[in-house]
């Protein structure tokens, strides 16, 4: 994002959720969209060269980072042109997402290459809304048994040649890939992803406990929408779920919308993984922010009723209509985590996992001014992306 000549901005009288503690009566000073100082107590409010925002005691937290999102406001990353990308990023910014990873679906090699190409070109210019920081390839190397809303026509075993072509043409664009680790060639593929600095995530998988552990030995570091579309926990065969709950090397995505995962299961996840092991995602599709009706996820027809999207043919959940602020509230109000822990799961953990934590993900000097102001009901009042206000 271009910062232009924004000058100084001071947000004061806030409860600042910093990495190590919440700062009461805190303040954050930005210059040209970058955080330059964080402090507490009295500060000069008479400076004429600085715009002032009185936070009135509200929470100031880092902007949300959504590592798994397919679309919103009627657009889908699978087909979105530049205008569609702006539609998606504008919608999610309105709900607190300041960084976003454009997520694909299982599709042909040509379609996936086209998504990478469009996203690469979009990222090469100043982005006006939530900052697209890369691509998450969800598939096509997944399990037919646990395909969920993935198109079965394009499911394939891992193809190293595809990966090498993609990273050669679009260096550093792919940040994350979801695959089924039990498929033929998956272990070598995971190792290559890891060598390239791409996060390997297990999802849409029938992997056994032993297969997940073996994958983690080769570099697997994430679980895609944990509990959903994966072999479940059994006390004699812990399965994919048992492995990701107990292996400290693996961070776990979760869709905290009350439909995909029962709140008690999320409590179990938090108890097992801790505040640093959970990543909040939306898995939002094009129907997010739209009225009930007929939509698509990729090429598959979807019907949304009462805000819940399901495939028309199977009734499987088809992504979600969740926003990050809704997921954040659910974690605090229903699951019972603290605001600070929910913030870590929505911002700090994804930034660290993606390797962008030197730029964003916490309220720290030197980082981009991606900030949210929330009241005690966790209603958003202000969103800043690179220090620029985003209208709600």
Cα 181 versus chain centre, distance:
21
Query: Which residues neighbour 272 within 8 Å (Cβ) at sequence distance 6 or greater?
Result: 245, 246
Distance CA 68, CA 91 (A): 15
List the alpha helices (DSSP H) in 18-106: 82-94
> What are the structure tokens assigned to 64, written together?
């949300």
Residue 140 preceded by cis peptide, ω within 30: yes
Q: Which of 283, 341, 357, 370 is catalytic?
A: 283
What are the backbone angles phi and psi of residue 154, rounded to the nearest 5°?
-115, 10
Query: Counting Cβ atoms within 10 Å, is residue 176 exposed (0-12), middle (13-18) or buried (19+)?
Result: buried
**229 has binding-site annotation:** yes
95 annotated binding-site participant = no
Is 204 labeled as ligand-binding? Answer: yes
Report whether 260 belongs to an annotated binding site.
yes
User: According to the annotation, is 15 in a ligand binding site?
Assistant: no
Is 264 labelled as part of a ligand binding site? no
Q: Is 228 annotated as a binding residue?
A: yes
Structure tokens at 108: 């042909």
Rounded Cα–Cα distance for residues 135 and 78 (Å): 11
283: annotated active-site residue: yes
The verdict on whether residue 319 carries a ligand-binding annotation is: yes
C-alpha–C-alpha distance, residues 142 and 383, integer Å: 36
236 is in an annotated binding site: yes
Instruction: Mention every residue, 6+ apart, whose C-beta is less than 8 A from residue 211.
Output: 181, 182
Q: Is 130 annotated as a binding residue?
A: no
Half-sphere exposure of 106 (CA within 13 A, CB side): 26
Annotated binding site for substrate: 149, 228-229, 236, 260, 317-319
Annotated binding site: 138, 149, 204, 225, 228-229, 236, 260, 317-319
Question: Mind telling me the catalytic residues?
Answer: 283
Annotated binding site for Zn(2+): 138, 204, 225
């Amino acid at each position: 994002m271009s910062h232009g000549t924004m000058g100084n901005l001071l947000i004061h009288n806030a409860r600042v959720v910093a990495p190590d503690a919440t700062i009461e009566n805190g303040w954050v000073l930005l210059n040209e969209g970058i955080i330059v100082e964080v402090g507490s107590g009295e500060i000069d409010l008479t400076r004429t060269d600085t715009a002032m925002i009185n936070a009135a005691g509200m929470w100031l937290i880092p902007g949300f980072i959504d590592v798994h999102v397919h679309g919103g406001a009627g657009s889908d990353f699978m087909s979105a042109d530049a205008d569609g990308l702006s539609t998606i990023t504008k919608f999610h910014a309105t709900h607190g997402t300041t960084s976003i990873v454009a997520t694909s679906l299982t599709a042909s090699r040509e379609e996936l290459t086209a998504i990478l190409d469009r996203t690469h070109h979009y990222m090469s210019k100043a982005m006006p809304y939530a900052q697209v920081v890369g691509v998450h390839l969800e598939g096509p190397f997944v399990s037919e048994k646990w395909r969920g809303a993935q198109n079965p026509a394009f499911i394939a075993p891992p193809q190293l040649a595809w990966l090498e072509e993609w990273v050669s043409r679009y260096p550093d664009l792919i940040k994350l890939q979801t695959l089924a680790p039990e498929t033929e060639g998956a272990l070598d593929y995971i190792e290559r992803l890891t060598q390239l600095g791409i996060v390997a995530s297990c999802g849409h998988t029938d992997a056994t406990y032993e297969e997940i552990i073996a994958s983690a030995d080769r570099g697997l570091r994430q679980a895609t929408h944990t509990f959903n579309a994966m072999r479940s926990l059994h006390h004699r065969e812990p399965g994919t779920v048992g492995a990701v709950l107990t292996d400290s090397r693996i961070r776990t995505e979760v869709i905290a919308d009350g439909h995909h995962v029962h709140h008690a299961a999320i409590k179990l996840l938090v108890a097992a993984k801790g505040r640093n092991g959970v990543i909040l995602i939306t898995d939002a599709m094009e129907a997010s922010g739209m009225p009930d009706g007929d939509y698509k996820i990729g090429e598959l027809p979807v019907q949304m009723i009462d805000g819940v999207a399901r495939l028309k043919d199977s009734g499987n959940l088809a992504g979600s209509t969740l926003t990050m602020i809704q997921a954040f509230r659910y974690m605090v109000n229903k699951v019972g985590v603290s605001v600070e822990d929910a913030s870590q799961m929505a911002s700090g953990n994804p930034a660290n996992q993606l390797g962008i934590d030197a730029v964003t993900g916490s309220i720290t000097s030197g980082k981009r001014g991606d900030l949210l102001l929330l009241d005690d009901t966790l209603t958003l009042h202000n969103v800043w992306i690179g220090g620029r206000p985003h209208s709600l």
